[in-house]
Chain A
Amino acid sequence: MAHEKTSLCTEFTKGFWKENPVLRMLLGLCPTLAVTSAAINGLSMGLAVVFTLVLSSMIISLVRNLIPREVRIPSFIIVIATFVTVADLSMAAFVPDISKALGPYVPLIVVNCIILGRQEAFASKNSVGRSVIDALGMSLGFTITLTFLGAIRELLGSGTIFSVQIMPNAFEPWMVMILPPGAFLTLGLMIGTANWLTARKGKSA
Chain B
Amino acid sequence: MSYFLIFISAAIVNNYVLSAFLGICPFVGVSKKIGPALSMGMATTFVMTLTAAVAWLINKYILIGLNLQFLQIVSFILVIASLVQLVEMFVRKASKPLYDALGIFLPLITTNCAILGVALFLVMKEYNFLESVVFGFSAGAGFTLAIIIMAGIREELELADVPQHFRGAPITMIVAGCLALAFMGFAGLI
A-side interface residues toward B, CB under 8 Å?
Answer: 26, 29-31, 33-34, 74, 77-78, 81-82, 84-85, 88-89, 103-104, 107-108, 110-113, 116, 176, 179-185, 187-189, 191-193, 195-196, 199
Contact = CB atoms under 8 A, between A and B. Distances in A.
Given A77-B81, A107-B72, A108-B113, A180 B21 contact: yes
8 contacts: A29-B25, A84-B73, A85-B71, A180-B19, A183-B177, A184-B173, A184-B177, A188-B174
Interface stretch (B49-57, B90-98, B164-172): B164-172
Contacts of B23: 30
Contact of B116 (A108, A180, A182): A108
B55 to A, nearest CB: 12
Contact of A26 (B21, B70, B169): B169
Contacts of A191: 169-170, 173
Identify whether the interface residues of A are mostly helix, strand, loop, or mixed: helix
Contacts of A116: 111
Most chain A CB within a 10 A radius of its CB, from B22, B70, B165: B165
A193 B163 CA distance: 11
A113 B113 CA distance: 9
Given A84-B73, A192-B165, A111 B21 contact: no
Interface of B: 18-25, 28, 70-74, 77-78, 81, 111-113, 116-117, 120-121, 124, 163-166, 169-174, 176-178, 180-181, 184
A88 B116 CA distance: 15
Nearest to B15: A180
A33 B170 contact: no
B116 A189 contact: no
B72 A29 contact: no
Most chain B CB within a 10 A radius of its CB, from A30, A33, A116: A30
Most chain B CB within a 10 A radius of its CB, from A31, A78, A191: A191
A196 B165 contact: yes
Contact of A33 (B21, B81, B120, B166): B21
B165 A199 contact: yes
A34 B163 CA distance: 27
The 8 closest A-B pairs by CB, nearest first: A188-B173, A184-B177, A192-B170, A185-B177, A188-B174, A34-B21, A195-B165, A181-B180
A110 B70 contact: no
A102 to B, nearest CB: 12
A28 B163 CA distance: 25
A26 to B, nearest CB: 6
Contacts of B111: 111, 113, 116
Most chain A CB within a 10 A radius of its CB, from B19, B121, B170: B170
A185 B23 CA distance: 17
A196 B164 CA distance: 9
Contacts of B19: 180
A150 to B, nearest CB: 14
A169 B43 CA distance: 50
B143 to A, nearest CB: 13
Contacts of A33: 21, 24
A74 B81 contact: yes
B24 A104 contact: no
B181 to A, nearest CB: 4
B177 A78 contact: no
A109 to B, nearest CB: 9
